[in-house]
Chains A and B, each alone.
Chain A
Amino acid sequence: EIVMTQSPLSLPVTPGEPASISCRSSQSLLHSDGYNYLDWYLQKPGQSPQLLIYLASDRASGVPDRFSGSGSGTDFTLTISRVEAEDVGVYYCLQATQSPYTFGQGTKLEIK
Chain B
Amino acid sequence: EVQLVQSGAEVKKPGESLKISCKGSGYSFTNYWIAWVRQMPGKGLEWMGLIYPGDSNTRYSPSFQAQVTISVDRSISTAYLQWSSLKASDTAMYYCARPLLQGAGSYYNTWGQGTLVTVSS
Residues of A that sit less than 8 Å from B by CB: 1, 37, 39, 41, 43, 48-51, 54-55, 60-61, 90, 92, 94, 96, 99-106
Contact = CB atoms under 8 A, between A and B. Distances in A.
A101 B60 contact: no
Contacts, number: 68
Main secondary structure of the interface of A (DSSP, over half): loop
Contacts of B59: 99-100
A100 B44 contact: no
Given A54-B100, A60-B100, A100-B61, A43 B106 contact: no
Chain B interface helix/strand/loop/mixed: strand
8 contacts: A1-B61, A48-B95, A49-B95, A54-B106, A101-B35, A101-B105, A103-B44, A103-B47
B47 A94 contact: yes
A106 B45 contact: yes
The 4 closest A-B pairs by CB, nearest first: A96-B106, A54-B107, A100-B61, A48-B111
B53 interface: no
Contact of B44 (A1, A48, A61, A105): A105
Interface in B79-121: 95, 97, 100, 105-109, 111-114
Contact of A100 (B47, B95, B108, B113): B47
A96 B95 contact: no
